[in-house]
Amino acid sequence: MASSDRLRTELLKYFSSMETREPAISRVEYEGAKIAIYTRNLQTFLDRDRIARELVSMIKKRVVIRPDPELRLPPEEASERISKVLGDGYKLIFDEPLGEIVIESNSPSICNLDRSETLKNLMDEIRWVIRILREPMMPSKTIDRIKQYVFWDTKDKLEILRSIGEKVFRPQTFPPKDVRITILGGGQQVGRSSILVQTTESNILLDCGLSAGANNSLDMFPRFDTVPELIERLDAVIISHSHLDHIGLVPYLFKYGYRGPVYCVEPSIPLMALEQFDYISVAEKEGSFAYYTGNEVKMALQYCIPLRYGVVTNVTPDIRITFYNAGHIMGSGMVHIHIGEGLHNIVYTGDFKFEKSKTLDASAHRFPRIETLIMESTYGATPVPYTLEESEDMLAQKITATINRGGKVLIPVPAIGRAQEIMLVLNKLLAEKKMSETPVFLDGLVIEATSIHTAYPDFLASELQQRLRDGENVFMSEYFTAVRSESQRLEVLESRMPAVVMSTSGMLEGGPAIRYFREFAGDDLNSLIFVSYQVEGTLGRTLLKGSREVTLINEEGKSEVINVKMEVDKVDGFSGHSSRQQLLSFLRRITPKPQNLILVHGEPESIGSLARSASKILNANIYGPKNLETILLHPS
């Protein structure tokens, strides 16, 4: 290990108390944000959980105990033992450099062994670490693609993990003093979220998104251009969740030389890949310029460090982060940032919903300490006057009215989050016979995003978890049909039968939703129902504002005027964002109370309205910074 003599001394002190013939440590390696201790001492390996726990509380760093090659059973013998215990229905991948066996399976009985006594005993016996990788219930191209990257050239992988560790565990050069927060994007706007947090020692970027509605790069990108040597100085990128306005430009950083960690909650990795590859293919289809290629997406994925909620992780010598559930989409996290051993604590909410939804539990509101809260404000000026149940009834009525008059319903949905929520809502309405029975077609990225959801039950609402673990695909039902080919799509487009179509994109900015819109728009029997936020500048927003003559670019690249006769409507309340009331109730309930409140990710009206109300709730300095503004925090 290159640096940190202090760490070495601490480890030696800990292990010297053990009386063993074999040395407890054969080598110590940096493994991303963890310290990996390789051992050929059987007792140390058997006691790995206790030792790792004790070391974490002693050295305040995450530790993993790994078997030295000499300690492991040879792969053939290990496979045999595994097959005796598990039977069949799985695939094994031997990750030799790490001493890890990955068991890939979609059999509930195997996947549910994760963290069980059986699995622990099996590991003790074969002396390899076993990791279970749950496969999705429907095929997912994205997950297949990522697997190739995750299990790519393992020498490269170790090298990447080591280089990240060297940055994370480097000795601290500067004593902690002040903290600077600079808004590079998402200040007084919804889109291109990106916030630079700087301490005397570190530079970290919270989110790295793009603006969907923008038509030039200066408006589309966070203002990276204003930070000298950003790429060289950046220690870590921290991702709150995998929507393009938060992750769209991560690969762009890699294109310009960034080679550091990207921290996120585990399911964010496939969701991020899905969104970024889609961004490239949409750009290609439209003949516009994609700001990065698949290679840079792949590289960014290789530098991703998946975390679970509640795990404290060192990201630089003076910064530790912990993710908390944000309730917005699967894998969305509020980031707690602890700076300089108690000097200052920031909570960045990312997008969050402070109410239980069908897909997810309500966001967290209790944190160890907070001096500064950076909060999203999307619906800061938009109270939702209905309960979730009332919203469901409204949706049911609107759909039923359209179906009964022989029309079709188009529901444009963002692939990740709202799509799965609406699927669960429609399933419930159909099961309770609250809406007319009708076929529901799913098109675009909805299908792929839904399969990814089925691979991560632990990250979904408590009551969905067990059903998914038992092998039930909770999102699909007999009413749903996935549109998987162009001929199938043509059938749906040309059919005269009433139906519901759920398709991406959610703001009618691309994807198959546009095809359906063009086909359905001219008929006043049909309806268009929005269920998610429509950003300024998108076709969705234009239609919601009342425009009934819109111009689309058709497949031949020519502009085409569409006269919209179909009913255009929206149902609020399904959003993955907190409503105005929920934002305020979050501020009332958050524990402990922050001294500074920084409002981002909202249009000026929302921020202004929220700031006025927040000042009556919190005794805090309230900021609504524009892009490029810096807030200097002077911790005492």
List of residues contacting Zn ion (CB under 5 A):
243, 351
Q: Are 424 and 466 in contact (CB under 8 A)?
A: no
Closest CB 575 distance from Zn ion, rounded Å = 10
Contacts of 342 (CB under 8 A, 6+ apart): 369
Q: Are 351 and 601 in contact (CB under 8 A)?
A: yes
Strands (E), 295-403: 304-307, 313-316, 319-325, 333-339, 344-348, 372-376
Dist. CA 534–CA 572, nearest whole Å: 11
Q: Please identify the residue of the shown chain whose CB is closest to the bound Zn ion.
A: 243
Closest CB 500 distance from Zn ion, rounded Å = 24
Closest CB 259 distance from Zn ion, rounded Å = 27
- Residue count (the chain): 636
The smaller minimum CB distance to Zn ion, of residues 157 and 243, is found at 243
Closest CB 328 distance from Zn ion, rounded Å = 6
The smaller minimum CB distance to Zn ion, of residues 182 and 268, is found at 268
Closest CB 247 distance from Zn ion, rounded Å = 10
The smaller minimum CB distance to Zn ion, of residues 32 and 327, is found at 327
Write out the two tokens for 130.
Answer: 């076993």
Q: Determine how many CB atoms are found less than 10 A away from the CB of residue 379.
A: 21
The smaller minimum CB distance to Zn ion, of residues 31 and 275, is found at 275
Closest CB 526 distance from Zn ion, rounded Å = 29
Asked if the bond preceding 175 is cis, omega within 30° of 0, the reply is: no
Q: Are 530 and 521 in contact (CB under 8 A)?
A: no
The smaller minimum CB distance to Zn ion, of residues 62 and 577, is found at 577
Secondary structure in 3-state letters for 36-62:
EEEECCHHHHHCHHHHHHHHHHHHCCE
The smaller minimum CB distance to Zn ion, of residues 358 and 398, is found at 358
| Residues paired with 478 in a beta bridge | none
Q: H/E element holding 600?
A: strand 596-600
The two most distant CA atoms of the chain are separated, in Å, by 83
Closest CB 487 distance from Zn ion, rounded Å = 34
Q: Are 206 and 335 in contact (CB under 8 A)?
A: yes
Closest CB 188 distance from Zn ion, rounded Å = 17
The smaller minimum CB distance to Zn ion, of residues 48 and 243, is found at 243
Question: Taking CA 585 as the corner, what is the angle to CA 579 and CA 586, rounded to the nearest 5 degrees?
Answer: 90
The smaller minimum CB distance to Zn ion, of residues 408 and 577, is found at 577
Contacts of 128 (CB under 8 A, 6+ apart): 67, 72, 73, 78, 99, 100, 101
